[in-house]
Amino acid sequence: MERDTEGVRGFEDFGADVFTLDKMENKLDRRHFESLLATLHGGAALEFETADAVAAAMMDWAIERGADRYTHWFLPLTGSTAEKRSSFLETDIKSGLPILEFSGKALIKGEADGSSLPSGGLRATFEARGYTTWDCTSPAFIKRDADGSGCLCIPTAFCAYDGAALDAKTPLLRSMEAINRQALRVLRHLGETEVRRVVPTVGGEQEYFLIDKQNFLRRKDLMYTGRTLFGLPPAKGQELSDRYYAATPHRVLNFMHELNGELGRMGVPCKTEHNEVAPSQYEFAPIFESANLAVDHNQLTMEMMRRIADRHNLTCLLHEKPFAGVNGSGKHNNWSLLCDNGINLLKPGKDERGYRRFLTFLIAVIAAVDEYAPALRMSCASIGNEHRLGGNEAPPQIISIFLGDALQDELERFCTGSEISIHQKERMSIGVSTMAELFRDDTDRNRTSPFAFTGNKFEFRMAGSSQSLGLPNTVLNTIVAESLSKIADALDAGVQLQKVLCRTYRNHERIVFNGNNYDKNWAQEAKRRKLPLVDNTVDAIRCMAEPKNTQLFVRHGVMSQEEIFAQTEIALQNYATAGKIEAMTMLKIARQSILPACVRYSATLSSSLSCAKEAQVFCEAQRTLLTRLNKAMSECLTATDELEGCLKDSVLTAETVRDVLTERMTALRNAVDRLESMTDKSVWPLPSYGEMLFSVI
Ligand code: ADP
Ligand code: MG
């Protein structure tokens, strides 16, 4: 049954703060509206006059909704969003009186003093100019402040003075155009002549932790780096699997309700929410949208999660691995291709033509992932995700595809020249007569695969929880555009479809793996199949600039050589800087909090020992405790000095962070954790893992 959302609690306000097309239509005259549609749907350049009319309509609407400021809202390569708010206020030159004004020029182009944003050498500091340009495919929206007032946010792309992209959005938009072009070429050969546009769709499931804010404020490591740099595991963790899907604490439900309300008003369609496996970990999933919108909306989701948590005296942790030994957080990027006539190209069609279409696009994705696995791995490489990937909780670093046995068998049959057989779902019985009969899904789930087919879409599970989904989708769109272009080239040259597809599948079937990706034997098997293993972040980042990948991005007009080098440079720089900040944070905490606390506890033990000696009673326990503590303190001090020495002596590049610093940091962490295990809890200066993970229940 379907019904509309009108009058349904929680939906009254959905999209109220988004300047949607129908609102625009109401405010614009026909001519301007049609001219805008020509830009939106047909890709025509936006006329100045139309831009003026749209700007006036936008301001009018924003002011009606209580927003008196506007900003170009963009995604610089910091991984978060940027904005610079301006008032609509201007001074009338003639009368000198204040007026409200928003011109087409101000809508289309903003100038950001971009020298403080990462540019990867594309721009020197003295060349400060950066531009933001309106992305009319992502609607403007109002972001509310705590007092209810608002700011009109205009999604924009951000580029340097010479037009080079300096953000996550521009390459994404270009990659969407690339895949549209190539998908249409293939569809024409399949006889799908009515499709005019193919759009990649994305649903990004977001994992996160919520902890009590008071505990957060006492952990400088969480504050400065997003993760705990010290801490012993609690006596109870996630072993009992009693948290997954369990009833959510009321405090957290209140947070979720407010989040859904605020996001809903900004047009982010929230769909599911639940407890995750680790204590204090949760997941949020929206309804899928066009890739561009989904990336913007995921960014908004993260921002709102942080803000709203704060209002509930909670802190939202988006880091990929906030707690060692406890499951980390990722962002599952569900991805498919949607035609403007409603066909999902990765959904097995019901008739022969639909099934052939599905197999064509499926095989294109398989080929793309096999051919460009390192590029995909690169798109998720960050210092935070490094701690998560490869653990037995997150996808391993070897990329493979899960199809499920049924689908793999079908591909096999197809390649041996059998007729296409439309697969019938199997009936399944639960053994209780009062329960409805179910049909078994063709594929079971495989949680261990980094890239899994889930019935009508692929789920790319490598992305980190804090990163923008821009780059993973840019890469995904581009590599699939490439394999579609190869298929289209062969079809153009008159090769028969079946032949092209079988050849493509045979060349790339090594990437398909339906087994347990956590199994040790898989690594061996992957090696035998010659699948690439990029086992560290720095190498993964450097994959981007390899000639094969650069040529790919340049060929499809997604990124220029300079843009790729700049992105690589920024990613390496971020890795090195984040590593340095983590090391400095450790040093501060060890020297200023941990060691002094241990000295105090040592003094307590010493005086107990002296008293016992004086009283001539047995005092071996005090002696042993004190000896052990003093020894561990001395080890901790040595590890601290060594880490400090390393920071002083070496020029910190991404490579030195990876090869030298990380090892010293681990040594210091081990020393501090040992001290935690033997120190009086009442003097220990940091909230423990147990306190942080089990206080919101
Ligand atoms: P699970 O946790 O089992 O993977 P969820 O229901 O939590 O599944 O999330 C599935 C995600 O996939 C949702 O965000 C959903 O909108 C998205 N999704 C569903 N269909 C598509 C599609 N065709 N393209 C992209 N994403 C999709
Ligand atoms: Mg999922």
DSSP sequence for 410-424: HHHHHHTTPPP-PPP
Residue 111 reports pLDDT greater than 80: no
Q: Which ligand is closest in space to the CA of residue 200?
A: 1
Whether ligand 1 lies within 6 angstroms of the CB of 460 is answered as: no
Query: Which H or E element spans position 169?
Result: helix 169-189
Residues 6+ apart with CB under 8 A from 339: 187, 192, 195, 197, 198, 345
Distance CA 230, CA 671 (A): 9
- Torsions phi, psi of 445, nearest 5? -90, 150
Distance CA 661, CA 645 (A): 10
Q: How confident is the model at residue 277 (pLDDT cuts 50, 70, 90)?
A: confident
Whether ligand 1 lies within 6 angstroms of the CB of 272 is answered as: yes
Q: Residue for token digits 């109401």?
A: 26
Instruction: Please give the pLDDT value at position 442.
Output: 57
Q: Which ligand is closest in space to the CA of residue 271?
A: 1
Written as one letter, the residue type at 381 is: A
* For range 151-179, the mean pLDDT: 92
Residue 549 reports pLDDT greater than 80: yes
Which atom, in ligand 1's list, is nearest to the CA of 338?
23
Instruction: Please give the pLDDT value at position 564.
Output: 94
How remote is the C-alpha of 194 from its chain's centroid?
A: 34
Which atom, in ligand 1's list, is nearest to the CA of 274?
7
Other Cβ atoms less than 10 A from the Cβ of 185: the count is 17
Q: Range with the lowest mean pLDDT among 171-180, 197-206, 436-445? A: 436-445
Instruction: Please give the pLDDT value at position 443.
Output: 60
More confident residue, 188 or 132: 188
Which atom, in ligand 1's list, is nearest to the CA of 336?
24
More confident residue, 253 or 425: 253
Q: Is 264 helix (H, G, I), strand (E, B) or coil?
A: helix
Distance CA 74, CA 159 (A): 10
Whether ligand 1 lies within 6 angstroms of the CB of 344 is answered as: yes
Q: Which ligand is closest in space to the CA of residue 330?
A: 2
Distance CA 199, CA 608 (A): 73
Distance CA 552, CA 19 (A): 36
Whether ligand 1 lies within 6 angstroms of the CB of 334 is answered as: yes
Instruction: Please give the pLDDT value at position 421.
Output: 64
Other Cβ atoms less than 10 A from the Cβ of 578: the count is 17
Which atom, in ligand 1's list, is nearest to the CA of 205?
14
Other Cβ atoms less than 10 A from the Cβ of 12: the count is 13
Q: Is 392 helix (H, G, I), strand (E, B) or coil?
A: coil
What pLDDT digit, counting tens, does each position of 468-520 carry?
999 999 999 999 999 999 999 999 999 999 999 999 999 999 999 999 998 88
Q: What is the mean pLDDT of the chain?
A: 91
Distance CA 301, CA 147 (A): 20
Instruction: Please give the pLDDT value at position 273.
Output: 83
* For range 595-616, the mean pLDDT: 97
How far apart are the CA of 347 and the centre of ligand 2, in A? 17
How far apart are the CA of 283 and the centre of ligand 1, in A? 13
More confident residue, 295 or 136: 295
How far apart are the CA of 286 and the centre of ligand 1, in A? 8
Residue 66 reports pLDDT greater than 60: yes
Percent of the chain topping pLDDT 90: 75
Nearest 5 degrees, angle CA 537-CA 541-CA 542?
120
Mutate which of 179, 198, 205, 447 for ligand 1? The one with the most ligand atoms within 8 Å of its CB, which is 205
Instruction: Please give the pLDDT value at position 431.
Output: 58
Mutate which of 295, 334, 461 for ligand 1? The one with the most ligand atoms within 8 Å of its CB, which is 334
Distance CA 563, CA 231 (A): 40
Q: How confident is the model at residue 428 (pLDDT cuts 50, 70, 90)?
A: low
How remote is the C-alpha of 20 from its chain's centroid?
A: 26
Pairing label, strands 67-74, 150-160: parallel
Q: How confident is the model at residue 371 (pLDDT cuts 50, 70, 90)?
A: very high
Residue 246 reports pLDDT greater than 80: no
Q: Which ligand is closest in space to the CA of residue 461?
A: 2
- Tokens linked to 125: 């500091």
How far apart are the CA of 200 and the centre of ligand 2, in A? 17
* For range 223-243, the mean pLDDT: 85
Q: How confident is the model at residue 148 (pLDDT cuts 50, 70, 90)?
A: confident
140 φ/ψ sector (left φ>0, alpha ψ -120 to 50, else beta) = beta
DSSP state of 398: B
Written as one letter, the residue type at 12 is: E
- Tokens linked to 393: 């909780």
Other Cβ atoms less than 10 A from the Cβ of 273: the count is 18
* For range 441-469, the mean pLDDT: 88
* For range 222-231, the mean pLDDT: 98
How far apart are the CA of 397 and the centre of ligand 1, in A? 23
Whether ligand 1 lies within 6 angstroms of the CB of 287 is answered as: yes
Q: Range with the lowest mean pLDDT among 86-90, 340-344, 394-398, 508-512? A: 394-398
* For range 145-172, the mean pLDDT: 90
Distance CA 52, CA 134 (A): 13
DSSP state of 435: S
What pLDDT digit, counting tens, does each position of 10-57 carry?
777 899 999 999 999 999 999 999 999 998 887 788 888 999 999 999
Instruction: Please give the pLDDT value at position 697.
Output: 77
Instruction: Please give the pLDDT value at position 429.
Output: 56
Residues 6+ apart with CB under 8 A from 313: 212, 213, 214
- Tokens linked to 614: 């004086």
Instruction: Please give the pLDDT value at position 5.
Output: 76
Which atom, in ligand 1's list, is nearest to the CA of 344?
23
Q: Range with the lowest mean pLDDT among 179-183, 330-334, 392-396? A: 392-396
- Torsions phi, psi of 489, nearest 5? -60, -45
Whether ligand 1 lies within 6 angstroms of the CB of 286 is answered as: yes
Distance CA 689, CA 281 (A): 13
Instruction: Please give the pLDDT value at position 77.
Output: 87
Distance CA 446, CA 444 (A): 7
Which atom, in ligand 1's list, is nearest to the CA of 456?
23
Written as one letter, the residue type at 324 is: A
Question: Which residue has the least CA distance to atom 14 on ligand 1?
Answer: 203
How far apart are the CA of 651 and the centre of ligand 1, in A? 44
Q: Are 61 and 27 in contact (CB under 8 A)?
A: yes
Distance CA 314, CA 519 (A): 37
* For range 365-382, the mean pLDDT: 97
Distance CA 476, CA 143 (A): 30
Q: Which ligand is closest in space to the CA of residue 469?
A: 1
Q: Is 400 helix (H, G, I), strand (E, B) or coil?
A: coil
How far apart are the CA of 203 and the centre of ligand 1, in A? 5
Percent of the chain topping pLDDT 70: 93
Q: Range with the lowest mean pLDDT among 337-346, 422-431, 537-546, 558-567? A: 422-431
Instruction: Please give the pLDDT value at position 112.
Output: 74
Q: Which ligand is closest in space to the CA of residue 276?
A: 1
How far apart are the CA of 101 and the centre of ligand 2, in A? 45
Residue 298, classified by CB atoms within 10 Å of its CB into exposed (0-12), middle (13-18) or buried (19+), is buried
Mutate which of 201, 271, 288 for ligand 1? The one with the most ligand atoms within 8 Å of its CB, which is 288
Instruction: Please give the pLDDT value at position 531.
Output: 95
* For range 557-562, the mean pLDDT: 95
Q: Are 294 and 286 in contact (CB under 8 A)?
A: yes
What pLDDT digit, counting tens, does each position of 656-677 carry?
999 999 999 999 999 999 999 9
pTM (2 decimals)?
A: 0.94
Distance CA 586, CA 220 (A): 9
Instruction: Please give the pLDDT value at position 426.
Output: 60
Q: Are 490 and 367 in contact (CB under 8 A)?
A: no
* For range 459-463, the mean pLDDT: 96
Which atom, in ligand 1's list, is nearest to the CA of 283?
7
How remote is the C-alpha of 148 from its chain's centroid?
A: 29
Best-predicted range by mean pLDDT (130-134, 193-197, 635-639): 635-639
DSSP state of 348: P
Residue 80 reports pLDDT greater than 90: no
Whether ligand 1 lies within 6 angstroms of the CB of 202 is answered as: yes
Whether ligand 1 lies within 6 angstroms of the CB of 285 is answered as: yes
